[in-house]
Amino acid sequence: MNVLLPQPIEVEAVRRLEEAGHTVVTAPNPTPETVLPLMKNAHAVVLRTGITMTRGLIEAADDLRVISRTGGGFDNVDVEAATDNEIIVTSNLGVNSISVCEHVLAMMLSLAKQLPLLDRAVRNDNYSIRYQNLSRDLNGKTIGLLGLGRIGFQVATACASVFKMRVLACDPHLADEIKSQYTDLVAFVDKKQLCKESDVISVHVPLTDETHHALSTAEFELMKSEAIVINTSRGPVIDEDALIDALEHQIIGGAGLDVQNHEPPDPKSPLLKLDKVLLTPHSAALTNECVIRMATDAADRTIEVLSGKKPLNVANPEVLGAQRWQHLASS
């Protein structure tokens, strides 16, 4: 069967697909105009973040069966269109957790210790900054997690064990029986309390209508003046204009953003000019090790579907009730 790659993936993942007997077709570039004609004969798409699988692209396929994300999110897939066309959408939940967790810790440390600012000062012959800008310890401070999924749990565990931090979490959708398993590690609070009491706030929720601008002016005004906000989930979870205002008026102390409202950000964005902002290019999961894990996991789930097995982490499980999928066996 034909597996379409709108963008290249790791060689090991391609090897697995080909060894399973599939033909791998890689688009010259991930623009919709280029990918559209390639969709017609695709039985599967292994999807990175460079293109959105719209209804138009999905319905251009004659016999598309699965869209397998290399990442954990589904915001670049029209899941409703896939479901309407009885196409399985699956992702690699959990594969990137430790890599993103490490990125959160790196941002948290860099901002608390003011590493980017101090580095620039030393390079500009301003060694006396060591007396002017004192960094802060994280030991014994409070971290608030907006969302406690796989990544949030990794961050909670690391912060509690390494820095002896108090851990707060706000996750109204987490089942009570799951929350009860974490009570020795995490105190569950509402968003208002989390914003008021946290020295560091790290965002770990998917982008939905409910979470859009989950952190905005009202939330920033509740925070401590030295609070650090870190976002490795999706840009629009934070109201970027409100964040800029909070930083410019020293309402909060800093921000580490691996994701932005617009990627790449506008070159004129005030975020690029603020000393207490640390920016990375949506790269938290893009370590040497993690990109291989993500690609091979996506390939393995594709192979499972095409060989008649039910994959893990299906975004639209209702589609499994369709007649075309009655043959699937649990993998």
Residues recognised as catalytic: 234, 263, 282
Q: How far apart are CA 244 and CA 279, in angstroms?
A: 13
Per-state percent for the chain, helix, strand, coil, to nearest 5: 40, 15, 45
Alpha-carbon dihedral 242, 246, 249, 253, rounded to 10 degrees:
-160
Q: How far apart are CA 75 and CA 293, in angstroms?
A: 20
Query: What are the CA-CA distances from residue 113 to residues 38, 135, 228, 275, 276 (Å)?
Result: 49, 5, 12, 13, 11
Closest CA to 87 of 67, 60, 61: 67
Per-residue tokens: 315: 């975004």
Q: How far apart are CA 247 and CA 277, in angstroms?
A: 8
Q: How far apart are CA 182 and CA 147, in angstroms?
A: 13
Query: What is the residue whose two structure tokens read 């205002």?
Result: 245
